[in-house]
Structure 1
Amino acid sequence: MSAFVNNPFVDPVEVNPFQDPAVTQVTSTGVDHVEEFNPFSDTNTGDLHDVTTIPATTTPSSQPAVLQPSVEPSPQATAAAAQANLLKQQEELEKKAAELDRKERELQSRGAATGKENNWPPLPKSFPIKPCFYQDFTEEIPLEYQKVSKMMYYLWMLECVTLFLNVLACLALFTVASSYGTDFGLSILWFILFTPCSFMCWYRPVYKAFKSDSSFNFFFFFFVFFIQVVVFIIQSVGIPKWGNSGWIAAVALIPTNIAVAVVMMVVAGLFTICAVLSVILLKMVHSKYRRTGASFQKAQQEFSQGVVTNRNFQNAAAGAASSAAQGAFQRN
């Protein structure tokens, strides 16, 4: 019995579990432990109250779709809208035409201020008809194209002289034989027709092409000048009753009148020289054209821009639009 320290029959002493040394050691230290975080403590309740809740969006009550009746514009309203649109386009065209007129007047005034007055044809100042064109190879044509341009001008002058001599040769032929009156009449017509037309249709286009590097003028020149080459060949051949003193007509007249035949041979030789020079110059212009970088696409663009900016075209378009609008309004 002496071995027992406590009496087993005595009431047991109440043992406080919080007096355990291990527990008191942990609670007495000021170090925070993550493992001891209490989610139910008052220190964390403030964060929970501060959280703002976002209420769920309430979907509005859907309404049944109501079909609106389709309202089609009346014919009068359509016609009025079309007329207003056409009148607006007409006003825009008139504004552009006025702007182009203003720019043209400015260019003319600048030309008058700088002294660039028309100098071709070179007519006396007392002559009632004034020059129509301005031409200056050294000023307007680049140096590499001046030679070709002058040769084209000389070719045109040679053609004019040849056509005039052709009139005289046909007149001499008519004096020898009255049956050649048709040739004399046609020779006068060819002189009156070909002299200005050749200047306007192939010389001025090639001049402006070299001046401004215009693809459209180049293509227009090639088209017309090819026809001119064919005409030179026909004139040099001299088909009877065609108004040309060519080789056939001159050789046929040798047994009858040698003097008139010689005159006609001279004219036939001049027509032949014109034909040969025209072929040579056509090749020269084509070689220069290939160096300028011109193309068919550029020619189309220049043509379309020239048509749109043309005042006559704008006036015609405006008149057509106005008449169409008035007609549509009257029908409705």
Structure 2
Amino acid sequence: MSDFDVNPFVEAASDNNPFNDPSVTQVTNSNVDPVDQYNPFPPSDGLATNTSPYQPAVLQPSTEPSPQATAAVAQAELLKQQEELERKAAELDRREQQLQTRQASSGRENNWPPLPKSFPIRPCFYQDFSEEIPPQYQRVCKMMYYLWMMNCVTLFLNLLACLAFFIKDSGQGVGFGLSILWLILFSPCSFLCWYRPVYKAFKSDNSVSFFFFFFVFFCQVVIFIIQAVGIPNWGNSGWITAFTSLHQDTAVGGIMIMVAILFTFCAVLSVILLKMVHGLYRRTGASFQKAQQEFSQGVFTSNTFQTAASSAAQSALQRNN
């Protein structure tokens, strides 16, 4: 019955009441609002040290590069470009030496024109695009070769068209004779005068060969245009001659129109290739001064020029004595 004598409304002993903790009773019995108790700026004396882990943000002033730094960067860029050009020149020299060594050691034989071994005439040139022409120039060089082959085929078809026109009209003998001359003359001359120079120019990056090619190939473009026009009795089955023959015979006129189309295609393709070769030539950094320097070096270092100069000097000394 002792448990029923305990008054539940009497405060329990401080040891058993958790709300009698001093820290809790101080807050609950205080008349100050808890918000007012918080001071974000606690008082501190002059000797107190800043223990906050956060530091104030400091804006770094922006500094522009000085003229000396800009000049140094530009000079470094120029030196880098010069080293790149020297590396390319050394690579070209190394490739040329390898080709010469390979030719001397293996006894490389000419392979163009591709003639049978039993043929009495042997090939006169060596041609290998994958071995002698750098990869970036192979496509344009092959297109120049295809243009030369198309020119030869067109000249042969032109001869047949002029022959057919001569059979139909006996007064066209001059045109037929000139068509034979153009086939015999332009086929080998175009190979020697503008295809081989551009092949050598791409092979050795020679400015003299490039300038020679530009001069001769410009004349070839003019010839293509004249052939496409087809002036009567000039030996060309161009548009004027084709329409003239079309009134006399339809079959002959059709053959000449086909040849005129081929001449026109050759003229257009030659203009495109001339522009492409000129673009590649400008990318190599070549110039007229470089061509003059290469030409003078080639002349002065040639054995023929040295022999002639020594002979002239000896003759002059003998005359003076």
TM-score, scaled to structure 1:
0.63
In structure 2, the partner of 1:233 is 225
**1:240-319 alignment to 2 at 5 Å?**
240-319=232-311
What is the SS of the residue equivalent to 2:121?
A: coil
1:147 aligns with 2:173: no
The one-letter code of the counterpart of 2:179 is S
Paired with 1:186 and 1:300, the residues of 2 have a C-alpha distance of 38
Shift of 1:116: 2.4
Classify 1:306/1:177 alpha carbon distance in 2 versus 1 (closer, same or farther; 3 Å). Answer: same
Distance in 2 (alpha carbons) for counterparts of 1:307 and 1:322: 20
Q: Please give the alpha-carbon distance, in whole angstroms, between the structure 1 residues aligned to 2:180 and 2:306.
A: 39
The aligned counterpart of 2:163 is 171
Corresponding pairs, count: 223
The residue identity in structure 2 corresponding to 1:265 is: I
Structure 1: any 5+ residue segments left out of the alignment?
A: 1-106
Distance 1:219 1:255 in 2: 45
User: Any stretches of 5+ residues in structure 2 without a counterpart?
Assistant: 1-98
- Give secondary structure in 2 for the equivalent of 1:122: coil
**Change beyond 3 A, Cα 1:115–1:320:** closer
State the SS of the aligned residue for 1:240: coil
Q: What are the within-5 Å matches in structure 2 for residues 43-62 of structure 1?
A: none
Q: CA deviation at 1:151?
A: 0.4
1:184: Cα distance to partner?
A: 1.1
Pairing 1:204–2:196 present: yes
Matches within 5 A, 1:1-332: 111-325=103-317
Distance 1:110 1:299 in 2: 28
User: TM-score if structure 2 supplies the norm length?
Assistant: 0.65
| Aligned equivalents of 2:136, 2:100: Cα separation in 1 | 28
CA distance in 2, matches of 1:142, 1:327: 52
Of structures 1 and 2, the larger Rg is shown by: 1
Distance, in Å, in 1 between the alignment partners of 2:114 and 2:138 is 20
Supply the AA of the counterpart residue of 1:120. W
Change (3 A) 1:175 1:326: farther
The structure-2 alpha-carbon separation of the partners of 1:108 and 1:291, relative to structure 1 and needing over 3 Å to count, comes to closer
Change in CA separation of 1:312 and 1:171 when aligned onto 2, cut-off 3 Å: farther
C-alpha displacement of 1:327? 5.3
Counterpart amino acid of residue 310 in structure 1: S
The one-letter code of the counterpart of 2:142 is: K
Q: Where does residue 44 of structure 1 map in the other structure?
A: none
In 2, Cα distance between equivalents of 1:243 and 1:197: 18
CA distance in 2, matches of 1:173, 1:185: 12
Q: Which amino acid aligns with 1:119?
A: N
State the shift of 1:118 in Å: 1.1
Give the superposition deviation at 1:302: 1.3
Return the alpha-carbon distance in structure 1 between the equivalents of residues 280 and 134 of structure 2. Answer: 12
Matched to 1:294, the amino acid is A
Higher relative contact order (CA 8 A, sep 6+): 1
1:3 is aligned to: none
